[in-house]
């Protein structure tokens, strides 16, 4: 049943050698690797406006200078990551760069932050995608959590099946989104220049002083705007997927992506300002712009669909990144081994399932509200950003390649900006982001605990090839067969036990002297050639007298280095409901014995024929 | 943890010989055994009024002649049950009487109906008790289901502890209830005679014709009134608890109980009529009478408390009867064996838990509404009533003791009345009671299925003492040790396997030719003196290649009558969370092998030391 459902959902198992991958040209790589970054346009500008709105609509013009700050930051990040691309052509994730240059603990910090961050990528992107959908269909607004959860479940299933990494297929929605954004920006600028469309609200002139605008508020708005930069690092992690010369192609692609992102961001912020869009609860800024420019016609719905789609693709990047990072951490023995196992469809199923489950939990806790998730997301991104840059500084100082001075300066500036942003985050949004200070250290402690355990295990399991195998003589082994009566099952168990050793004991636990006497009499009559030990249970429990008896046997056996084996029959009925008719106390007794007594449990199946 | 919680809730385990019981004198027996019957006064009269109210308040006077009918029925039942008491002094439950005289199927019908009925006893009594509580505290009215469920949980826990069957303790609330009812009746009659209290509503004169009163309605009201007779059979089931001469004392007690019940019923019905009480949704008839007579003072709350208490005691009788009947049915192999097991506190825990769970389900399904549960309850009672009486008729005809003619006539009349009542039930309340026609046959079919299975099992397990034990030679046994690498655990498993047989094979499943080659090389280097078989898994699954291999081994072994033992190591980590870090695939593999392959599974524990 379960197996069938699994087959239906995720398809037939694939052979190990059916795995294959393709090399990407710049055009396709841009599409595949930039959905996370470009989709940020759908929520980044809005986050700035939400913060500014706290000081009234007169403060909204501040979005323009703030976006300029974000664009400068973007330039710094692109330059820094180009350095990383050349220095780590095998793919320099923050975990790798930080671990190699700054040591294990910084690596784990980056790794832990990234894991949390990928979960947030999924939660934020899907929440924002759901916003795009509910903006278009307001009737769904009250069900946004359910919609978001359904989408996550769907993506999880698709990833368990193994998405065909068809770059061609994935590139359509990305370029379509870019095209549509360019049309909106073009149409908006045209409307602004010609004045053919009246703004939604009158916008305040740039430079108008606004009450309630403090430096704190502006920094807060700036840090919100930094959420538009999430996903910039994706290309530097995926250099091996590029066609040769991979680092060069990757660096160019990063530059292209930065350029597109900058244009889209600047354009959307400008138009939102020009049309005097106010951030509202039940419709995204992008939806307001689109609806106002073109009316709620088919083109409007295409815009919303395209926005939702690129956000879902962005979430999907989390599904490639999280399981891979979990695999790397598991390989280094910092995460549980199951994350190393490939599933039926060759994906790292456990990583995919974990990511899906955790992001659903986040969506439910934060009620699917994008603006509540974004501060965490952004700070989570800037921790590995900072650590990568710092790692690169150490890298240049250590390696000192040709022209390292210039490279050092670039990464130094990048690092300083990142630390500045982090400082601004903690200064302006502490109430939103303190969980990071709790969870990341906890995750790191867990990494270490896991590592420690695996090291201990490896040490305990290691054997010396030169030592010969110890020998136990068959006659030393003690076999104990608990019996409840005289039946075929007992006969089978005794036969089996006698074939293993000459030292077999049957044990009967009776709850009255009469029961014990009766059993002894029948046993002698039957005479199976095995000694019967009887125990009297005052409390009707079989476990505790048996437990005590086996302790005694074990104690004696240990002296001669022999093993104790306890033989249990296990009934298998023909129909499942029949198994309910048999006391399953044997299962509990077995579990208790093997856990506490260090004896071998031999389970002899008895299959009922009707 | 769980064990501690259990100890806290139900107390320390008791020794088998701590079981004891006391013999009851008539006075105490009356109290202990009549709570079920007497508590019916709390809901019986109300049920009549609810039905009559459908024809308007002018029809309420019909409650008087209808109650007369119920009283006549009560006389017939008391007389019939007195016969049963003398004929079955060992305690003649309907199951016993029907099984012995009418055959197994009628016995099972009575048994099945009774089991359902005991569940309904709990559900109805607790619902009615909750009504008494919510009548006094209207704020609880909307939470009546939760209140009822809490009470059931509490009674279940008390019964698992083992209620001290202190008859003295139990007799107080019963006699207190009788006393209070007598005061109400006395006060009511005094008020009626002197006219000191104006009625709630003006009552219609007896004999006033009322629109909408049909024979159907009257029969319906009568059958509702019969719910007041539930519990009359309790004394006849408990004769062995009486002091000698037990049957005579029991018969006298039954007569006393009948008398008290008759007085209370007649009294309450009369006063309800005189005061013109209308049945309403949020207050019981009894509460209306008490409140009207005495005002909402401390005495009123005492009345409600006493009513709730006797109803809870009535529910408690279900907790003695259900597990005992389940034990009897399990002993006759019609119910699962676990119902025969005494728990830590000597009660039949499984029966108690089952009863608690099922009555909670009923209360939730019927939303704790007494009037919805009562039709099912009453019909469930009259099925065993009818079968007992019919059984007695057969008994007299077969045995023909001195004066059997008169006895026959009494039971004949009793039986006829019971069948008549059943006919009225099905005629007037079919929409309420059809589930009985579904559930009782299903229960009987289940009884038979269970019986059949136990018979089959007994047959398959029976052995012939004269046949000698078959012998398998140690050298024939094949031991298979699946290995995943070369570790201490593998060493330990191989050492164990070699001590059992000379025929040991290690099996390695690799997912690439390289892995297999590496393993073979290391194995040869280690040279443990055991042959290594390697299998290549295309799908990364270990189960299916292992499964196939073991089938082959098993096939060969079967030819020579030898057994196949598969040795699995099982890791036990020092801390519970560490066990999450080890693939538990072994558990699944073991389950699959033992279920389908008929091989012995030997589990060798390996306890990590840190």
Beta-strand pair A478-483/A504-510: parallel
Q: Work out the mean pLDDT of chain A and round it to a whole number.
A: 86
Q: Which residues of A touch B573 (CB under 8 A)?
A: 453
In a domain, A457, yes or no: no
Chain A, nearest residue to B12 by Cα? A539
Q: Which residues of A touch B523 (CB under 8 A)?
A: none
- Residues with Cβ within 8 Å of A403's Cβ and at least 6 positions away in sequence, in order, are none
Residue A571: strand pairing partners? A606
**pLDDT tens column, A131-144:** 999 988 988 888 99
Residue B460 confidence (pLDDT): 84
Instruction: For residue B337, give the nearest of A460, A501, A582 by CB distance.
Output: A582
- Do A608 and B16 count as a contact with CB atoms less than 8 A apart? no
- Do B583 and A541 count as a contact with CB atoms less than 8 A apart? no
| Angle of the A44-53 helix axis to the A370-399 helix axis, nearest 10 | 120
* Residues A431 and A500 occupy one common structural domain: no
Residue A344 confidence (pLDDT): 67
Q: What is the CATH number of the domain that holds A535?
A: 3.40.50.620
- Do A491 and B469 count as a contact with CB atoms less than 8 A apart? yes
Q: Which residues of A touch B457 (CB under 8 A)?
A: 608
Residue position matching structure tokens 């209370």: B264
Looking at CA atoms only, how far is residue A516 from chain B in angstroms?
A: 15
In a domain, B460, yes or no: no
Beta-strand pair B531-536/A504-510: unpaired
* Residues B118 and B243 occupy one common structural domain: yes
- Residues with Cβ within 8 Å of A330's Cβ and at least 6 positions away in sequence, in order, are A336, A337, A338, A339, A340
Residue A266 confidence (pLDDT): 94
- Do B495 and A511 count as a contact with CB atoms less than 8 A apart? no
- Do A602 and B598 count as a contact with CB atoms less than 8 A apart? no
Is the confidence at residue B452, as pLDDT, over 80?
Answer: yes
* Residues A23 and A99 occupy one common structural domain: yes
> What's the number of domains chain B is made of?
2
**pLDDT tens column, B194-226:** 888 888 888 777 777 777 788 889 999 998 898
Q: What is the CATH number of the domain that holds B117?
A: 1.20.1740.10
Indicate the DSSP class of residue B360.
Answer: H
**pLDDT-above-90 percentage for chain B:** 32
Identify the CA nearest to B337 among candidates B451, B448, B463: B451
Looking at CA atoms only, how far is residue A590 from chain B in angstroms?
A: 10
Looking at CA atoms only, how far is residue B166 from chain A in angstroms?
A: 23
- Do B460 and A604 count as a contact with CB atoms less than 8 A apart? no
The answer to whether the beta carbons of residues A231 and A43 sit under 8 Å apart is no
In a domain, A441, yes or no: no
In a domain, A465, yes or no: no
**pLDDT tens column, A190-231:** 988 888 888 888 877 777 777 778 888 999 899 889 888 888
* Residues A423 and A506 occupy one common structural domain: no
- Do A341 and B583 count as a contact with CB atoms less than 8 A apart? yes
Q: Which residues of A touch B501 (CB under 8 A)?
A: 500
In a domain, B441, yes or no: no
* HSE-up (13 A, CA, CB side) for residue A593: 33
Looking at CA atoms only, how far is residue A517 from chain B in angstroms?
A: 17
SS3 B564: strand
Chain A, nearest residue to B15 by Cα? A539
A167 pLDDT band, cuts 50/70/90, is low
SS3 per residue for A554-604: HHHHHHCCCCEEEEEEEEECCCHHHHHHCCCHHHHHHHHHHHHHCCEEEEE
Last residue of a domain, one of A402, A435, A468: A435
* Residues A408 and A482 occupy one common structural domain: no
Q: Which residues of A touch B453 (CB under 8 A)?
A: 573, 578, 581
In a domain, A472, yes or no: no
What is d(CA A432, CA A42) in angstroms, rounded to the nearest whole number?
21
* Residues A113 and A215 occupy one common structural domain: yes
B19 pLDDT band, cuts 50/70/90, is low
The answer to whether the beta carbons of residues B496 and B602 sit under 8 Å apart is yes
Quote the domain boundaries for residue A557: 478-607
* Residues A239 and A344 occupy one common structural domain: yes
Identify the CA nearest to B419 among candidates B461, B384, B452: B384
Residue B485 confidence (pLDDT): 85
Is the confidence at residue B152, as pLDDT, over 90?
Answer: yes
- ipTM over 0.90 threshold: no
Residue B166 confidence (pLDDT): 60
In a domain, B83, yes or no: yes
Instruction: For residue B511, give the nearest of A14, A16, A605 by CB distance.
Output: A16
Mean pLDDT of A26-52: 88
Residue position matching structure tokens 């030292």: A503
B17 pLDDT band, cuts 50/70/90, is low
* Residues B422 and B485 occupy one common structural domain: no
Q: Exposed e or buried b for every residue in B537-570, given b needs 16+ CB within 10 A?
A: bebbbbeebbeebbeebbeebeeeebbbbbbbbb
**pLDDT tens column, B335-356:** 988 888 777 666 788 899 999 9
* Residues A491 and A407 occupy one common structural domain: no
- What are the Cα distances from residue A569, in Å, to A491, A546, A548, B594? 10, 15, 20, 11
* Residues B378 and B489 occupy one common structural domain: no
* Residues B484 and B403 occupy one common structural domain: no
**Tokens representing A500?**
């293993």
* Residues B399 and B491 occupy one common structural domain: no
- Do B565 and A607 count as a contact with CB atoms less than 8 A apart? no
Chain B, nearest residue to A19 by Cα? B539
In a domain, A550, yes or no: yes
Q: Work out the mean pLDDT of chain B and round it to a whole number.
A: 86
């Amino acid at each position: 049943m379960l197996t069938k459902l699994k087959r239906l959902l995720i398809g037939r198992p694939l052979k190990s050698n059916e795995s294959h991958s393709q090399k990407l040209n710049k055009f396709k790589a841009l599409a595949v690797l930039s959905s996370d970054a470009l989709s940020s346009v759908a929520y980044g500008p809005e986050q700035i406006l939400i913060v500014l709105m706290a000081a009234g609509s007169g403060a909204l013009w501040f979005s323009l200078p703030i976006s300029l700050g974000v664009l400068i930051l973007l330039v710094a990040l692109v330059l820094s990551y180009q350095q990383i691309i050349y220095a780590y052509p095998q793919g320099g994730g923050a975990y790798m760069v930080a671990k190699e240059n700054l040591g294990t603990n910084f690596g784990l910090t980056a790794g832990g932050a990234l894991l949390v961050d990928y979960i947030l990528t999924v939660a934020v992107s899907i929440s924002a995608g759901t916003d795009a959908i509910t903006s278009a269909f307001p009737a769904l607004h009250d069900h946004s959590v359910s919609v978001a959860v359904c989408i996550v479940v769907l993506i999880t299933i698709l990833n368990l099946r193994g998405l065909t990494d068809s770059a061609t297929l994935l590139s359509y929605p990305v370029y379509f989104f870019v095209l549509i954004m360019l049309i909106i920006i073009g149409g908006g600028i045209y409307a602004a220049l010609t004045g053919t469309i009246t703004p939604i609200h009158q916008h305040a002139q740039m430079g108008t002083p606004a009450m309630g605008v403090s430096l704190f508020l502006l920094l807060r708005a700036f840090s919100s705007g930094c959420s538009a930069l999430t996903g910039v690092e994706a290309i530097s992690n995926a250099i091996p997927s590029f066609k040769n010369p991979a680092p060069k192609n990757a660096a160019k692609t990063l530059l292209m992506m930065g350029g597109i992102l900058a244009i889209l961001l600047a354009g959307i912020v400008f138009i939102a300002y020009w049309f005097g869009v106010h951030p509202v609860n039940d419709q995204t800024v992008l939806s307001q712009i689109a609806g106002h420019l073109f009316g709620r016609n088919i083109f409007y719905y295409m815009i919303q669909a395209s926005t939702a789609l690129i956000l879902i693709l962005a979430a999907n990047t989390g599904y490639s990144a999280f399981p891979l990072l979990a695999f790397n951490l598991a390989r280094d023995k910092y995460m549980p081994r199951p994350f190393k196992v490939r599933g039926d469809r060759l994906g790292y199923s456990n990583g995919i399932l974990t990511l899906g489950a955790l992001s659903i939990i986040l969506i439910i806790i934060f009620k699917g509200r994008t603006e509540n998730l974004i501060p965490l997301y952004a700070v989570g991104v800037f921790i590995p950003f900072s650590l990568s840059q710092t790692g690169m500084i150490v890298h240049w100082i250590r390696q000192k390649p040709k022209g390292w001075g210039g490279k050092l300066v670039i990464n130094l500036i990048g690092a300083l900006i990142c630390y500045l942003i982090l400082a601004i985050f903690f200064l302006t949004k502490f109430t939103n982001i303190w969980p990071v200070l709790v969870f990341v250290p906890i995750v790191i402690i867990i990494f270490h605990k896991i590592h420690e355990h695996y090291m201990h295990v490896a040490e305990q399991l290691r054997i010396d090839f030169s030592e010969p195998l110890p020998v136990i003589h068959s006659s030393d082994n003690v076999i104990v067969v608990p019996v409840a009566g005289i039946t075929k099952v007992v006969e089978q168990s005794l036969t089996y036990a006698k074939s293993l050793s000459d030292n077999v004991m049957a044990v009967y636990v009776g709850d009255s002297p009469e029961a014990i006497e009766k059993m002894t009499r029948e046993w002698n009559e039957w005479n199976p050639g095995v000694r019967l030990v009887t125990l009297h249970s005052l409390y009707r429990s079989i476990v505790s007298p048996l437990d005590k008896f086996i302790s005694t046997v074990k104690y004696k056996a240990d002296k001669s280095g022999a093993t104790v084996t306890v033989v249990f029959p296990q009934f298998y009925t023909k129909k499942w409901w029949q198994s309910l008719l048999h006391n399953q106390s044997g299962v509990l007794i077995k579990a208790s014995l093997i856990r506490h007594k260090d004896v071998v449990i031999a389970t002899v199946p008895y299959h009922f024929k009707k």
